[in-house]
Structure 1
């Protein structure tokens, strides 16, 4: 079961990485286009090669239209896509100055409670994203510039959030079993020796 969950988490993280890489490329191209467009409209280019400048402007050299809309939707998906791997590898930030002095049983209890709370929050997020996607689908809302249906972004984020919720539930079950039995089922390096 752990191999399946880890594979699912890694697949989502890879999808998030691909989307994030494409968004970085899109942003860089848009910024470069914006700079080039400004230079083409500048006095220097207009005096040296006005025909070339006008031709480049006419073919569309400039910022990418609606880039921020795509970045907004893509980053939301990427964030949710990275959550399952972070959840299954205990990659969330933690402050354990006080808890380091607790006995092993108390630490396991806190880890179990934390995983259960995380799972509940991830399920709540997925449910609310589902409701949001349905609402956006029903009212036909579109983005301002590109006019793509807003529910697409909600649906993509919902898929990733649902995987995060499933992995969160799995990890809550694992930590609960670990607490009840005293055995470590999934070693992640967080629980130190005492």
Structure 2
């Protein structure tokens, strides 16, 4: 029995794609929790008169950027992105899957372009030695990780698009 049209092309439990993107998402979740704890400690420090954690906003910015990029691949693998299907609800499932597959491939191309741009930004950041303002944290590794995560997203979108094209009604 084939999956319903809304889940066709989605990764399934036990699938290698789901395993990889799940691990990445869990790491992103851990990073998000760490950022929330850092904000809590910083606010409590101010409230009790000890002052904020130095560079707290820089660390939170880095953590949020990394965690957002970490969540996108699993969202794509499970087809959890927001889709507007106002015009396709009355089309046959096969046509809807084909349209969704095309958009997955367009999304993959856009993410590949962003990953490529992030690689260029990583090179420039390494060359310039760009650091954060308060703590002096080197930003090149952050750019590199973001580039890798977006590349994983691009590959994931290609895989989901191809699965949609291969699925049968």
Bin for the TM-score computed over the shorter chain: 0.7 to 0.9
- What does residue 153 of structure 2 align with? 164
Does 2:117 match 1:128?
A: yes
Larger Rg: 1
Q: What is the rounded CA distance, in whole Å, between the counterparts of 2:106 and 2:65 in structure 1? A: 22
After superposition, give the CA deviation of every residue in 1:7-57 in whole Å (9 maximum; x if it has no partner). 0110110010000010000011111111112xxxxxxxxxxxxxxxxxxxx
Question: What secondary structure sits across from 1:176 in the alignment?
Answer: helix
Higher relative helix content: 1
Question: How many residues of Structure 1 are paired with residues of Structure 2 in the alignment?
Answer: 157
- What does residue 6 of structure 1 align with? 18
Q: What is the rounded CA distance, in whole Å, between the counterparts of 1:152 and 1:64 in structure 2? A: 22
- What does residue 57 of structure 1 align with? none
Does 2:75 match 1:86?
A: yes
Q: What is the rounded CA distance, in whole Å, between the counterparts of 2:33 and 2:157 in structure 1? A: 26
Structure number with greater CO (CA < 8 Å, separation at least 6) is 2
Q: What is the rounded CA distance, in whole Å, between the counterparts of 1:119 and 1:176 in structure 2? A: 15
Aligned counterpart for 1:31 among listed residues 13, 37, 43: 43
Normalised by the size of structure 1, how large is the TM-score? 0.76
Report the alpha carbon displacement of residue 152 of structure 1 after superposing the two structures with TM.
Answer: 2.1
Structure 2: which 5+ residue stretches go unaligned? 1-10
- What does residue 101 of structure 1 align with? 90
Structure 1: which 5+ residue stretches go unaligned? 38-60, 185-194
Report the alpha carbon displacement of residue 177 of structure 1 after superposing the two structures with TM.
Answer: 2.4
Q: What is the rounded CA distance, in whole Å, between the counterparts of 1:166 and 1:115 in structure 2? A: 10
Q: What is the rounded CA distance, in whole Å, between the counterparts of 1:89 and 1:82 in structure 2? A: 11
Report the alpha carbon displacement of residue 144 of structure 1 after superposing the two structures with TM.
Answer: 0.4
Q: What is the rounded CA distance, in whole Å, between the counterparts of 1:82 and 1:20 in structure 2? A: 11
Q: What is the rounded CA distance, in whole Å, between the counterparts of 1:127 and 1:70 in structure 2? A: 25
| Alignment check: 8 A CA contact 1:115 1:175 kept | no
Structure 1 stretches (4+) deviating beyond 3 angstroms?
none
